[in-house]
Chain A
């Protein structure tokens, strides 16, 4: 039998470690759900939001932003040359959002009440908008994946149904993330006079949205490189497409920097950039090291056209977005919040375990579904051959 008809999951030492981390996470999550947040976390009255909201949710959604930006370019603008990365970007985004939903669920104190916002509309809350958009968008992505699922499970009528839904899903699937990526920033408008002024702004939603879009190509590059390492694929062949897609990132990095300058000038906040405080220095590292540096690096042809150069530049952008979200949640709030917070081992374990589970799901899906496009032609040919064989043999095609 060939690899496309039987479900497989290869075991490697790495995967054994990931499974162990996932199992530990399941234990920690159970403990947290039974005994409460105080027992499992170091959260306190000064720091009601910690690692799970700051990293798993705020950063997780941003890093999964590669899904909607590539969807916009490939499916809305019909730029077909990027088609080869569409499915991989959708998959990582879908897994990312499922992890976010998981992280969010473990963070809410009264988790049996999680469904309430669907029925009690606190429409004046940014969180209400975020909650609805993220829930709906995760659903949209699951439906988008139906098109890949039923290609693999070979149910023609179902695949046709999901194919028919695709254009609508693509459009909603770009609109919803545009709203919630920016709204995650709007969450912090309420911290006026408390979040350090280099980060607080009435246009913080624009900064969050812009960075969620420019991290997309960087994340796709980084993940593509990791996948090529893991699966022995030729990364060099994908370079032209990625370098071209990366232009979006370069333009938006420049836009972000210029907008930051205009915003700081408009709010008369330059003094907060150069006052030598911890917050100011963290902001300078963020802008110089993770906005301007990757932009300059990309503008050098020998860097952007080499695998090492493009991957390094991409990692800088990804780390930069993580750094920015951490700065908003922790660095920028520390002075106003007071008190202390450092995540407990259980908080770390849950975050690491969720990521481990995500990697395992990614590996399983990539090995069992047609995700990488260059295999797609070969896959179609194989299907055709199979059909021919089945017809010749007088039977129906083999069902999975």
Chain B
């Protein structure tokens, strides 16, 4: 059964216990945060921060309010990074997480260009950098545990489970509270569906989510073109060979006429 996470933005209080738990479990270094104007908002994930809670000051019914949106890898059902990797270093596991086999990585960074959510990040400070991103604590999952971030969440804003059940739960919450939630489970259809699902009471674009994304799996776009490669290679070689022999014969005949 494919696992996933459901993040209910209306329940998040912005405590960032998930960030802490992620750092601890994954043994990520603690580095000084670059100073930003205002508060913590708009800090992106990076090579050493695989999840981050975005702080968003929004206006709801004329009242200024805060909303907190935890961001990390979306664990796409059809990951663009997996299809982009020419050594198969990214793999969508049957359990749900998209994991990275670091010893295979060449460092071309096409995955970073490919990801529709700009998730893979690079260790720019290293001589031989790796691509880093959330792996939904794949190692914990294999031991029968939940991801570190969901265990740390004190409000139940971030829960772990089977993706199908989480999706049903999300739809249930919308159905039971139609005035509270907007009618959109982010991740249900985006880029062909993602293992991470979001619920919100304000439109997702106000929280910095891309809502202009396709609902088709991104690898399908590439494959619909790339699949022609062997046919073109064989067909075009045959045409070239025929052209070569035909024109050569004609030129040879012309030369004979001249003599």
A interface vs B, CB < 8 Å?
34-39, 43-46, 48-49, 72, 75-78, 80, 107-114, 116-117, 120-122, 124-129, 131, 167, 170-172, 174-175, 178-179, 183, 186-187, 189-194, 202, 205, 337
Contacts and interface: CB of A to CB of B under 8 A. Distances in A.
Contact of B251 (A80, A170, A174): A80
A45 B218 contact: no
Contacts of B222: 124-126, 186, 189-190
The 7 closest A-B pairs by CB, nearest first: A109-B107, A38-B124, A128-B86, A48-B112, A48-B109, A36-B127, A125-B86
A172 B236 CA distance: 10
Contacts of A113: 87, 104-107
B84 A190 contact: yes
Given A109-B128, A116-B104, A129-B226, A45 B83 contact: no
Interface string B61-94: 0000000000000000000101111111100000
Which among A76, A77, A170, A172 has the greatest number of chain B C-beta atoms within 10 A?
Answer: A76
A110 B105 contact: yes
A112 B128 CA distance: 9
A113 B222 CA distance: 25
B170 to A, nearest CB: 24
Given A78-B251, A179-B232, A186-B225, A38 B240 contact: no
21 contacts: A37-B129, A45-B46, A45-B47, A49-B113, A78-B247, A78-B251, A108-B106, A110-B106, A113-B106, A124-B82, A124-B83, A124-B219, A125-B85, A127-B86, A175-B236, A179-B229, A186-B222, A190-B218, A192-B221, A194-B116, A202-B221
Contacts of A121: 88
Nearest to A180: B229
B122 to A, nearest CB: 6
B36 interface: no
Contacts of B250: 78
A346 to B, nearest CB: 14
B232 A35 contact: no
A375 to B, nearest CB: 23
Contact of A125 (B47, B83, B212, B225): B83
Contacts of A112: 128
B87 A122 contact: yes
A114 B113 contact: no
Q: How many B residues touch the partner, as a band?
A: 35 or more
Given A109-B105, A190-B218, 9 more contacts: A76-B247, A78-B250, A108-B106, A113-B105, A116-B87, A117-B86, A122-B88, A124-B226, A178-B232
Interface in B99-131: 104-110, 112-114, 116, 118, 121-130
Task: Give the secondary structure class of A's interface.
Answer: helix
B129 A36 contact: yes
Nearest to B85: A122
Contacts, number: 167
A46 B109 contact: no
Interface in B165-202: none
A48 B122 CA distance: 8
B88 to A, nearest CB: 4
A116 B116 CA distance: 26
B236 A187 contact: no
B145 interface: no
B226 A190 contact: no
Contact of A120 (B104, B109, B110, B126): B104
B58 interface: no
Given A108-B107, A109-B129, A110-B105, A125 B84 contact: yes
A129 to B, nearest CB: 6
A127 B226 contact: no
A45 B118 contact: yes
Interface in B213-234: 213-214, 218-219, 221-226, 229, 232-233
Contacts of A189: 221-222, 225
B124 A116 contact: no
B236 to A, nearest CB: 5
B44 interface: yes
B237 interface: yes
A171 B112 contact: no
B114 A170 contact: no
B237 A175 contact: yes
Contacts of A36: 124-129
A110 B128 contact: yes
A271 B142 CA distance: 50
Contacts of A193: 116, 210, 212-214
B87 A179 contact: no
A330 to B, nearest CB: 12
B43 interface: no
B187 to A, nearest CB: 16
Contacts of A171: 237, 240-241, 244
A112 B116 CA distance: 29
Contacts of A190: 80, 83-84, 113-114, 218, 221-222
Contacts of B15: none
A177 B232 CA distance: 12
A193 B210 CA distance: 10
B28 interface: no
A131 B221 CA distance: 20
